[in-house]
Copies of this chain bind each other. A is one copy, B any other.
Amino acid sequence: MHKITWTHKVQYYETDQMKVVHHSNYIRWFEEARVELMEKIGCPYDKMEEKGIISPVLEVTCQYKQMVRFGDTVEILAWISSFNGIRFSLSYEVYNQKDGSLCTAGTSKHCFINAQGKLISLKREDPALYESLKKLCEE
Binding site for B on A (CB under 8 A): 11-13, 15-20, 22-25, 27-28, 31-32, 35, 44-46, 49, 54, 56-64, 67, 69-71, 117
Least Cβ–Cβ distance between A62 and chain B, in angstroms: 5
Across the interface, A13 reaches (CB within 8 A) one of B28, B46, B59, namely: B28
Across the interface, A11 reaches (CB within 8 A) one of B31, B54, B64, namely: B31
Main SS of chain A's interface residues? mixed
Instruction: Contacts A27-B27, A58-B63, A60-B62 known; list 9 others, CB within 8 Å.
Output: A12-B17, A12-B31, A12-B35, A16-B16, A17-B20, A23-B57, A46-B71, A60-B61, A61-B62
